[in-house]
Amino acid sequence: MKALVIDDSKAMRTILAGILTGIGFDVFEAENGLEALEQMKKVTDLSLALVDWNMPEMNGYEFVRKVREHDAYRGTKLMMVTTETEMAQVAKALDAGADEYVMKPFTRDIILEKLDLLGLSLD
């Protein structure tokens, strides 16, 4: 399965990509929502996107709204990766079509648990 990690922090992308690669995902990365939309034109059959909230160019909320405008991306699960201070806004993202969220700081186990909830566990 393929996953896209979208975050303007390289350190955060590396952590998330490491977890996903470790359980067998093919992982792609993007620095912001715009770059992620470009990637999604090329990478087909994307099962999952992990979406940061605060990013330049296009933030996570705008990205979710854009993706959910397209039927072609209906099969892609969207999980927000958010800080506690952004929690109030998570409801907005879920309304816009995000499927799950995870709060920073997270552990590998929490990510795996969320993937399970989304029906994306690989084992």
Q: At closest approach, how far in Å is the CB of 45 from Mg ion?
A: 26
Q: How many residues bind Mg ion (CB under 5 A)?
A: 4
The answer to whether 52 and 7 are in contact (CB under 8 A) is yes
8 binds Mg ion (CB under 5 A): yes
- C-beta closer to Mg ion: residue 8 or 26: 8
Tokens 């896209």 belong to: 4
* Distance from chain centroid for Cα 12: 12
* Distance from chain centroid for Cα 98: 9
Q: Which two tokens stand for residue 99?
A: 């499927």
Residue 27 amino acid letter: V
**Which residues, 16 to 55, sit near Mg ion by CB under 5 A?**
52, 54-55
| Span interacting with Mg ion, options 2-10, 13-21, 34-42, 96-104, rule CB under 5 A | 2-10
Which residues would be at the binding site for Mg ion (CB under 5 A)?
8, 52, 54-55
